[in-house]
Structure 1
Amino acid sequence: MNDFHDSEDDAYTCRDARTFEALPPARGRSFAATWWGQAWLKALEDTALDTQQLKLGRRHARAGAVGAVSVRPGRITAVVQDRDHTAHRSDVLVQELGAADWDRLLDMVADRAGHIAALLDRDMPPQLVEDAAAAGVELLPGIGDLEPSCDCEAWDHCAHTAALCYQLARLLDQDPFVLLLLRGRGEEELLGELQERSAARAQAYVADPDEAPEGSDASLAENGVVAAEAFAAQEGLAQLPAPPPRVDGPCAVPALGGGAPPAPGIDVPALEFLIADTAERAGRQLAEALSGRHADTPPTAGPTVSEDAVRLASAGPPTAVAARLATGSGRDAKGLAAAVRAWRQGGPAGLAVLEEEWTPGAEELARATTRLATAWPDAADRPRMRVTRNRWTVVGTGAQLRLGRDGRWWPYCKEQGQWLPSGPADEDPATALASLLGAVKGADTE
């Protein structure tokens, strides 16, 4: 890789720079929803030495204190305002990829149509980053890759450069080409080079079948007829059908019975419910199969029997069906209701936080303790908590924070003697707890 660009006189064309208007305040939401946006923030949080500055930076970014963000190869720039409206020019420098790195990366992407399709769909599949790393190219920044520079003259990440990084995570969520521009290639230039390389490879394969990748049409020409040529030569040969159209939603569930009594053992409401659920899942799977990201998206593990019972119950089945789901999953009605509430807040992860109690390791506990200590800038505002394994209970209230295995904080409240989820998870414990403390005033306490 090349050195950091630290000169104000670097000459970039307009094509090599993009300016994004200031984003609105981000109160009550995470800065990064995509995995690559989260990787960007992890590089920041693992590098910065002063967690208090990170906390202030998050506050600046949430409040909308970051102005228009300029992105160009090797540098992002913005003006960030303090609470007293003092403006600071802040920059974060990122290493660009060298020419050899770009050659390896572009060759790899050009050989995989799925990667190109994903980028055009503003997606960055994990396989693309893994394949790039296998080729010796690190796309995502790591520890020490984000170099701060601010006119407040801080020697490490200050609140202003931290705020700029948090704001950029939101831009990365919207468009991964922003990261590639930082690494040295704008979208137009990158796609143009990919198109040229793809066309050159296709021409080379036709001209010299011996050089074609094993299994390609050209490599099979000596032992058979290339499929494309066979189709071109046979007029009237049946063509492949067009892909099925996208389905926006499942069709209406047919009414069963037709006036005739059901056969013994047939639960008509339960059967209609299962038909509706099957139609909904089939429609979702079809939409995923038609997505441009499908080829590069690894299959996810299916739910367990217990999880699937909760998923079905969260759809609001008839009462009798809900009772059968509770029994089949080993829960009573009260337990199933709590599980459904957790599922609606966070799916399998939310359900695990409800039903699992685990002990954080030394590193996880230290990280959680630091997050809690820095979440409230004023120590007087920090609530007093009692910790039991992965659960922090606010003393004297019916409020609790639970630490998930992914490092996020889940708010819980005590209702009629039972701890229940009360909202979605958040990486910031203060944000997760803020709305909860107001809601539990006067509620159950321990």
Structure 2
Amino acid sequence: MSDIHDETYDDADGTRAGTQSEERTFAALPPAHGRGFAQSWWGQAWLKALEDTALDLQQLKAGRRLARAGAVGAVSVRPGRITAVVKDRDGTPHRSDVLLQELGPEAWDRFLEMAIERAGHIAALLDRDMPPHLVEDSAAAGVELLPGIGDLEPECDCDAWDHCGHTAALCYQVARLLDEDPFVLLLMRGRGERMLLEELQARSASTAEVREAHEGVQEGGPEGVDAAEAYADGAILPPLPALPPLPAEPGVPPSLDTEAEPAAGLDVAAVEFLAAQAAVEAHRLLADALAPGHERQPIEAALSTAEDAVRLAAALPGNAVETRLATASERGRDGLDLAVRAWRYGGRAALHILEETWTPEDEALARARAALDAAWEEDERPRLRVTHNRWTVVGTDVQLRHGRDGRWWPYRKESGRWAPAGPATQDPATALAVAEGSE
């Protein structure tokens, strides 16, 4: 896909005069219709740096269109700079450059020392991978490999002062190159693949010699400790970091505006709704996890498909999605509407009260009767007819349903069927007043 050759550049091209630098030239890529520009997380980080920096979103959209149409020519990558000729929609060519600050010698020394300390980092680089922990360890050593906001500096002969459609198209194309080979980014930061691997090999060999010499000195000393035993000794583990703060609100899912036609049968609105609800649910789970005493709470069973359909329908997804959820939950629209009402009063527990009938055992039944007796004076107590866990007020359209946890749920008959009328309470008289008040 690329050629590597040595050239000398002068200061105008962004590198020191008289030095030998690697350059890689990538042939023009075919149009990218119907696919994203970055699949790898580091490619997406590159695009985030672009999209967070650009002031004109219309120029970003123009750049995406040009890149998708195959308007970006061969891409030249060298330390501190990427270059390509990008053609406008009318065929007018423009030389476009994007600059990225090179890392200095001290930063590269820190990176190399960090890499050789962990064999996994070297293996990842040899496999053309850039796992998050490599980038995190580099940042901890004071070396930022990935660009941040404002790090991608555009230059274009169209004289735009910010990212134009041409430099944006170049960045989107480079994201595709980064997916295939993170050494493209390392070359922009100042080290080509050949130079970097040679330095890693030399330093690794030197480190191995020092280790062997040290082991020779230690020969005959005390034996080491089994790794499993050492890990089991909690005293040697560092303290856990502080818990993260809870964000004020759920995150915003990424935009699905790719300017490409969706695949046949794909409901974009439904996907956007599901992404938003996933963010809401993640925020709720994090809030629960950070609450005091969470570690002592039992782990909840996962929602069934029918239960999850009700949870989603409670978020008002719109008629089209609600119809699909009604089918998935096997309830029909009327049944789903009733289930959604229950869910809003008490989530999964309220849904079980709506759809399940259970018969209290003698002890639970005795406690329920005692609660009913204590709720009213004798002359005010309503006449109740009991069927399983349901107490119906004789001659009325109101009912109390008793939960396994001892709470009481108010119900009222509507159009010939029982419907939830409010949340659960510990006091049956309060629940009955809610049911009667919903008339």
Per-residue CA deviations over 1:218-275 (Å, capped at 9, x if unaligned) read 675341589xxxxxxxxxxxxxxxxxxxxxxxxxxxxxxxxxxxxxxxxxxxxxxxxx
Per-residue CA deviations over 1:116-166 (Å, capped at 9, x if unaligned) read 111111111111101101101000000010000000010000000000000
Is contact 2:60-2:165 (8 Å) kept?
yes
2:408 matched to 1:402? no
Equivalent residue, structure 1, for 2:162: 156
Per-residue CA deviations over 1:297-332 (Å, capped at 9, x if unaligned) read xxxxxxxxxxxxxxxxxxxxxxxxxxxxxxxxxxxx
1:110, CA displacement in angstroms? 1.3
SS of residue paired to 1:417: helix
CA gap 1:416/1:135 in 2 versus in 1, 3 angstroms: closer
Equivalent residue, structure 2, for 1:165: 171
2:74 matched to 1:74? no
Which structure is larger by alpha-carbon Rg, 1 or 2? 2
Amino acid at match of 1:165: C
CA gap 1:30/1:130 in 2 versus in 1, 3 angstroms: same
Equivalent residue, structure 1, for 2:210: 204
CA gap 1:13/1:62 in 2 versus in 1, 3 angstroms: farther
Is contact 1:75-1:91 (8 Å) kept?
yes
Is contact 1:75-1:182 (8 Å) kept?
yes
Equivalent residue, structure 2, for 1:19: 25
Q: Which of the residues 205, 216, 219 maps onto 1:221?
A: 219
Per-residue CA deviations over 1:318-371 (Å, capped at 9, x if unaligned) read xxxxxxxxxxxxxxxxxxxxxxxxxxxxxxxxxxxxxxxxxx988956x87xx5
Tell me, in whole angstroms, the C-alpha distance in 1 between the residues paired with 2:131 and 2:198.
Answer: 21
Is contact 2:14-2:81 (8 Å) kept?
no
Q: How is 1:266-285 mapped onto 2 (pairs within 5 angstroms)?
A: none
Moved more, 198-207 or 91-100: 198-207
Is contact 1:94-1:183 (8 Å) kept?
yes
1:414, CA displacement in angstroms? 4.4
1:203, CA displacement in angstroms? 1.0
Consecutive aligned runs of 4 or more in structure 1 exceeding 6 Å deviation: 360-363, 374-377
SS of residue paired to 2:12: coil
Equivalent residue, structure 2, for 1:270: none
1:375, CA displacement in angstroms? 6.8
Unaligned residue ranges in structure 2 (runs of 5+): 1-9, 225-246, 262-266, 280-316, 327-439
SS of residue paired to 1:195: helix
Is contact 2:96-2:170 (8 Å) kept?
yes
Q: How is 1:84-233 mapped onto 2 (pairs within 5 angstroms)?
A: 84-207=90-213, 209=214, 217=215, 220-223=218-221
Unaligned residue ranges in structure 1 (runs of 5+): 210-216, 227-359, 382-390, 394-398, 421-446
**Percent of counterpart pairs with the same letter?**
64
Tell me, in whole angstroms, the C-alpha distance in 2 between the residues paired with 1:39 and 1:16.
Answer: 24
SS of residue paired to 1:223: coil
Amino acid at match of 1:131: D
Equivalent residue, structure 2, for 1:7: 12
SS of residue paired to 1:18: strand
Q: How is 1:400-439 mapped onto 2 (pairs within 5 angstroms)?
A: 401-402=272-273, 404=275, 414=320, 417-418=323-324
1:404, CA displacement in angstroms? 1.8
Is contact 2:21-2:78 (8 Å) kept?
no
CA gap 1:105/1:412 in 2 versus in 1, 3 angstroms: farther
Q: How is 1:234-313 mapped onto 2 (pairs within 5 angstroms)?
A: none
TM-score under structure 1 length normalisation: 0.51
Tell me, in whole angstroms, the C-alpha distance in 2 between the residues paired with 1:188 and 1:137.
Answer: 20
CA gap 1:199/1:149 in 2 versus in 1, 3 angstroms: same
Amino acid at match of 2:94: H
Amino acid at match of 1:160: H
Is contact 2:135-2:145 (8 Å) kept?
yes
Amino acid at match of 2:174: L
Q: Which has the higher contact order (CA 8 A, sep 6+)?
A: 1
Tell me, in whole angstroms, the C-alpha distance in 1 between the residues paired with 2:273 and 2:217.
Answer: 57
Tell me, in whole angstroms, the C-alpha distance in 1 between the residues paired with 2:56 and 2:324.
Answer: 38
Is contact 1:108-1:131 (8 Å) kept?
yes
Per-residue CA deviations over 1:264-288 (Å, capped at 9, x if unaligned) read xxxxxxxxxxxxxxxxxxxxxxxxx
Amino acid at match of 1:7: A
CA gap 1:415/1:362 in 2 versus in 1, 3 angstroms: closer
Per-residue CA deviations over 1:361-401 (Å, capped at 9, x if unaligned) read 88956x87xx58x8779xxx9xxxxxxxxx985xxxxx774
